[in-house]
Amino acid sequence: MQAEGEIASLTAHDVDELRAVIAAQGRHIESLQAQLQRQHEQLQRQQAELQQRKVEAEQAAAVIAEQQRQLEKMETEAVAAAAVNEQQKKLVQEQKARTTQLEEELEKCVMKTIWKHA
């Protein structure tokens, strides 16, 4: 009842001031709601961006893992190729040594033949 009495005793000027205050508070609330909505939308964009970055990071990790696997395979192939190359060098050296030996034996045979016919 006391509140009703206070409301009844308000002048038109007091009512206008209260309406102005209420309107200002309403505009402030609307402004805060709009700000909250913008922040919410920004947060949603950031979450979507973060999710996209996560997907991209996972894709990059998969690419890196595949490249690492290929690199390891290439390293294994390079080691095998180096071993084959060393084996081939060894065979070439052995072949050169055998060729030199055969040339020397041939030269001895030719010299013997020349001495026999001389």
Place of tokens 């050169």: 96
**Residues ≥6 apart with Cβ < 8 Å to 10:** 18
pLDDT in tens, 41-93: 999 999 999 999 999 999 999 999 999 999 999 999 999 999 999 999 999 99
Looking at the predicted structure, is the pLDDT value of residue 7 above 90?
no
Please say whether the beta carbons of 10 and 18 come within 8 A: yes
CA 1 and chain centroid, separation: 72
Q: How confident is the model at residue 3 (pLDDT cuts 50, 70, 90)?
A: low
Name the percent of the chain lying above pLDDT 90: 80
Q: For the chain, which residues make up each domain, given as ranges?
A: 2-87
Average pLDDT for 91-108: 96
**What pLDDT is stored for residue 13 in this prediction?**
85
